[in-house]
Amino acid sequence: MCGICCILGPKEKIEQHDKNLVLESHISHRGPDASNWTSFSVSEEISATLYGFVLHLRGQLTMQPLTDQNGNILLWNGEIFDGLPELQEDDNDTEALLTALSHCHTDEEILSVLSHLQGPWAFIYWQVERKQLWFGRDVLGRRSLLWHLPESLEDFFILSSIKAGSHKYTEIPAVGIFRMKFENLNLKTLPYQLILHPWKEAVWPMTGENLDDVLQSNPNIISGLHPEILEISSPTTNTFLPSICKDMPSSNYEHPPTDKLDVSYLDFLLKSDLGLQTEAEKLIDFLGQSVNTRILNQIPNSLLSSKNLSFNTLSKYNISYKTCSSGDVMEPFSNLHCGTDSVSQLHSIEESNPDHLVVSEESLPLQENNSCDSEHISSETKVIDLHKPTIYLGDANVAILFSGGLDAAVIAALADRYVDPEKSIDLLNVAFASPGSEQQQQQKKKKKDKRNNGLGDDHTTSADKNPFLVPDRLTGYTALEELNPRRKWNFIEINVTKDELQEIRQKRVSHLLYPLCSVLDDSIGCAIWFASRGLGILGNGPNKGKLFYSRAKVILCGMGADELFAGYSRHRSSFSKDGWQGLIQELQTEVNRISARNLGRDDRVISDHGREARFPYLDEKFINFVAEIPAYKKVDLTLLRGIGEKLLLRLCSFKLGFTKTAVQPKRAIQFGSRIAKLENSKEKASDVCTRLKPSS
């Protein structure tokens, strides 16, 4: 994961341009391990400056922008998991890709290299030989890249992972590879021309319609660009958007009905239908390969220097540290318990005395009780003030956004197969306090004190004591109980108050969500930002209740499962209205528009913590495999909610050892975490969110 930015404009303007425009955008948070910039002349009138901020995950640490001996320059924000034969296991993929592109002398050669890459990516490439600027995003849109299109000859053309400065931006549509040329132009309005090389059989992601048809009916649909400025050229030679299998079930094919949400029904289906059992086994294998790929392609924390680990992130909260022995570092937070708002307490400690915070770096082997233990703390521990409370720093290389839902639970079970058994895995579970919960809890306590003759808290329920026991917290613990008990799982309770939500939204999240601005984007974006920060209360093991920080640079996310396995209510509507044909068409539309499903937003939010989002369900090989399975083997929407949708994935989860989780109905993160309607119960998801004030 990296932060990349290109600013292109008139020479006399760009030479005076303040580099703080980039630095103040917080783009450096995306790449805490290295940064650099370079400027060059594009033509007699135009110069460009490229900025790169690197999150080091593979091979040797490589500065960006990366320049070869001929002057070609690459900014790369992505992972190449396949499709580049030159890339070896220990290679840095930025270096390998620049080498491959440097050997290309024609447009067709460059397009061939880029269109075969498998993995999430966004890139900017200056081809010095032909004075052309190439850029784009992968066909699934898994990495963010925004553009600001100049409104005059004096304005800048900007490409950036996140908004930089006060300019207006839009997301670059993931419809192909863009090329900008500066020579042999007949244009009077702008000193460059854009050429789009669409993906083979490209569709417009907003609607799923054929791109050629959309451009014919609306030539300016791509960010309002006039055909004189944006030329549509030859398509790429390859694409990874599959066609959904259109096979229909036989007239007598049906599953026996059930009126009970019971896992025994899944057991029955597997035993009575060998075809389903085979498909489930194959699916586990394909998805397992995807998870394994996303786990293996990174450098373990143990091989990185401490300055590039968690302390880089903790410093963003004004926490300094020093090195000393570990003798006195195990001071617990006496006033913290499961469900306490850890972040607010951390802030209060900083404000009162920012030097009085202890940071303990774990180096912990596998424990049967899945928890930290003081005797396994490393002999060299990073601390602040030996007499104050401890923040435990996890040793996991991998974290999972973990609501306890079906999609995340399956990923966790498969990660357990491939992560070193001596290593821990962090489970990130976010919860927001219900509106007015503090006042409500006080009122409840007074009433119960009266009823219980002053006994008070001894007779309150756990829900009364803890306003963060939201649905996702409860299902998270349920799923944790069904995971491998021999693995060291760190279940991190990330508890957020309304005050902290409002503060962080204005300081950080609104800037990252831009250009999106709906209530839904606000709810999901804020929930993911807090979850991926990885700072909360350890919820399991002997050190339950301690403040804990995940150092994992890779976060596995379950996005994409609902689109592939018919997990949304709209799929039931399509099936109810038009049967299997309607459902198959809806599934095809889902695949076609997946790049418009806000993966760029999720990338911007998660990367703000110097972490990388990886999506096992959106692996190219896995998507193509799932697309080839007939719809009636993946789903049966005649069955109960909690069984019928994502049926094949539920069968997989049962085979992986889940019982309660296997029949858990879908619940979106904004509802499960209780962030939805936290501040305004009357607003709709599609409304413009008035709380997202434009960032400057």
Q: Which residues are annotated as a binding site?
A: 93
Kindly name the residue from 2, 6, 104, 689 that is annotated as catalytic: 2
Binding residues for L-glutamine: 93
Alpha-carbon distance 264 to 257, whole Å? Answer: 13
Sequence-separated contacts (24+) of 523-527 with Cβ below 8 Å: 523/669, 523/670, 523/675, 523/676, 523/685, 524/598, 524/601, 524/602, 524/668, 524/669, 524/670, 525/601, 525/602, 525/605, 526/501, 526/675, 527/430, 527/432, 527/669, 527/670, 527/673, 527/675
- Please return the burial class of 218, using the count of CB atoms within 10 Å of its CB with bins 0-12, 13-18 and 19+: exposed
Amino acid residing at 239: T
Sequence-separated contacts (24+) of 18-25 with Cβ below 8 Å: 19/49, 19/51, 21/164, 21/165, 22/51, 22/160, 22/164, 22/165, 24/165, 25/160, 25/162, 25/163, 25/164, 25/165, 25/511
Alpha-carbon distance 658 to 225, whole Å? Answer: 51
The candidate with the shortest Cα–Cα distance to 390, out of 342, 344, 331, 321, is: 331
643 CA to centre of own chain: 27
234 CA to centre of own chain: 32
Joined together, the tokens standing for residue 44 give 């007699």
Alpha-carbon distance 471 to 389, whole Å? Answer: 30
Give 530's contacts (C-beta < 8 A, 6+ positions apart): 343, 430, 494, 496, 501, 504
**For the chain, the helix, strand and coil percentages under 3-state DSSP, each to the nearest 5:** 35, 20, 45
Joined together, the tokens standing for residue 251 give 């007239």
2 is catalytic: yes
Q: In what helix (H) or strand (E) does residue 535 lie, and over which residues does it extend?
A: strand 535-538
What is the Cα Rg of the chain in Å?
Answer: 26
At 266 the three-state DSSP class reads: helix
CB burial of 471-481 (b: ≥16 within 10 Å; e: otherwise) equals bbbebbbbbbe
Alpha-carbon distance 658 to 655, whole Å? Answer: 7
Bridge partners of 5? 51, 160
Alpha-carbon distance 551 to 541, whole Å? Answer: 19
Omega prior to 515 cis, within 30 of 0: yes
Alpha-carbon distance 565 to 582, whole Å? Answer: 14
Q: Contact at 8 Å (CB) between 620 and 240?
A: yes
At 556 the three-state DSSP class reads: strand
Q: Contact at 8 Å (CB) between 125 and 73?
A: yes
Joined together, the tokens standing for residue 247 give 């096979």
Pairing of strands 358-361, 489-496: unpaired
User: What residues act catalytically?
Assistant: 2
